[in-house]
Amino acid sequence: MRDVLIVGGGVSGLAAGIFTARAGLDTLVVDGGESILARNASLENYPGFPDGVDARLYLQLVREQAKSAGCEFELGLATSVEPIDDTDLEAGFRIETEGDGGNPLETRRVIAASWSDSEWLTPLDVGREQRGSKYVVSVDDGGRTAVDGVYAAGRIAGEPHQTIVAAGHGAKVGLAVIHDSDAAFYHDWVAPEGYFTGRGREVPPGCEEIDDEERLERDERARETMREWLAEPFDDEPTMHPSVETD
């Protein structure tokens, strides 16, 4: 059984996974298609990219980051979810998928980050509400739904339709999942050597102190990775809205 299963490998789901996996929770991301961000022609309001960034490259970078954080991935569409034991939600959830992996999947906690589809959530009374052609799921401040152990992140949780907000909300939901689980956690921080220990404090759980040699090694690796990704234009075009005729 997984600690966390995230349905939806778009911006919010991946951001949640980066945090849960880095906190040591066994995290699986199930994704059955494309993030709506793949339709963007030039992502120009995501902090950290002064002249913008190719949205599909950005998505690939976030996926890579989730992988190096420890997330595992499975290609497939979630089709339904049910408690393993109706009388005890702590026993976790069983998720059916249409995909090539093991079926059904079992997990202690579920994060719904599948903006374009919440149909699979209908067996649970999470509190879905129709807005236009889509549904949003009611959540509290940490993305918790009305069903203990089930969370929602990003646009599906009614957050504004912007990438930075989806990413930030995913991170916030990931942190709520960590706090609700048994993982020992303070903040996910990398601090210079001595930052805590120099004051006679233990390095808090979730944090790390690194010395200068390690810092320079990580910096070199980070720059090399970005050089490789940015060396050539990203070879993938925006996806058009399905109702627009392109021929």
Residues binding ligand FAD (CB under 6 A)? 7-13, 30-37, 39-40, 43, 45, 77-78, 113-117, 120, 154-156, 161-164, 166
Q: Give the nearer residue to ligand FAD in terms of CB position, either 85 or 119.
A: 119
Rg (CA), the chain: 19
Residue 238 phi, psi (nearest 5):
-60, 145
Instruction: Report the nearest approach of ligand FAD to the CB of residue 117 (Å).
Output: 3
The residue sitting closest to ligand FAD, measured at its beta carbon, is: 10
Quick check: 242 and 38 in contact, CB under 8 A?
A: no
Helix then strand then coil, in percent of the chain rounded to 5, is 35, 25, 45
Q: How far apart are CA 15 and CA 174, in angstroms?
A: 8
Q: Give the nearer residue to ligand FAD in terms of CB position, either 195 or 234.
A: 234
Residue 92, CA distances (Å) to 23, 30, 192 in order: 19, 17, 38
Instruction: Report the nearest approach of ligand FAD to the CB of residue 226 (Å).
Output: 21
Instruction: Report the nearest approach of ligand FAD to the CB of residue 199 (Å).
Output: 39
Q: Give the nearer residue to ligand FAD in terms of CB position, either 60 or 116.
A: 116
Q: Give the nearer residue to ligand FAD in terms of CB position, either 161 or 218.
A: 161
Instruction: Report the nearest approach of ligand FAD to the CB of residue 142 (Å).
Output: 16
Instruction: Report the nearest approach of ligand FAD to the CB of residue 231 (Å).
Output: 24
- State the maximum Cα–Cα separation within the chain, in Å, rounded to a whole number: 68
Sign of the CA dihedral with 152 first, then 175, 91, and 88 last: negative
Alpha carbons within 13 angstroms on the beta-carbon side of residue 11 total: 25
Q: Give the nearer residue to ligand FAD in terms of CB position, either 107 or 163.
A: 163
Residue 8, CA distances (Å) to 21, 87, 94, 205 in order: 15, 27, 16, 28
Q: Give the nearer residue to ligand FAD in terms of CB position, either 74 or 206.
A: 74
Instruction: Report the nearest approach of ligand FAD to the CB of residue 189 (Å).
Output: 24
- What letter would DSSP give residue 232? S
